[in-house]
Amino acid sequence: MTGSRTLSKPFPGFCTRLDWEVGMDRLPLVRVAEVAFLASNLKECVDFYRRIGMLDLPTSPGRLNFARVGEQLYGVCDDKTGFLDPWTGGYSKEWRLHIAFEVPDEKLDECVEFLKGKGIKVSPKTQWDNFHDVPHSTSIYFPDPAGNIIELWAPKR
CATH number at 148 reads 3.10.180.10
Tell whether 95 is covered by a domain. yes
Q: Given this model, what pLDDT does residue 130 score?
A: 87
Q: What is the pLDDT of residue 23?
A: 59
- In the chain, how many domains are there? 1
> Is residue 11 assigned to a domain?
no
Question: Which residues, given as ranges, of the chain have pLDDT below 50?
Answer: 1-22
Full-model pTM: 0.82
36 found inside a domain: yes
Is residue 145 in a domain?
yes
Q: What is the DSSP string of 86-139?
A: TTTSSEESS-SEEEEEE--GGGHHHHHHHHHHTT---PPPEEEEEETTEEEEEE
Residue 22 covered by a domain: no
What is the domain extent for residue 73? 27-156
> Is 19 part of a structural domain of the chain?
no
- pLDDT tens across 48-64, in order? 999 999 999 999 999 99
For residue 13, tell me if it sits in a domain: no
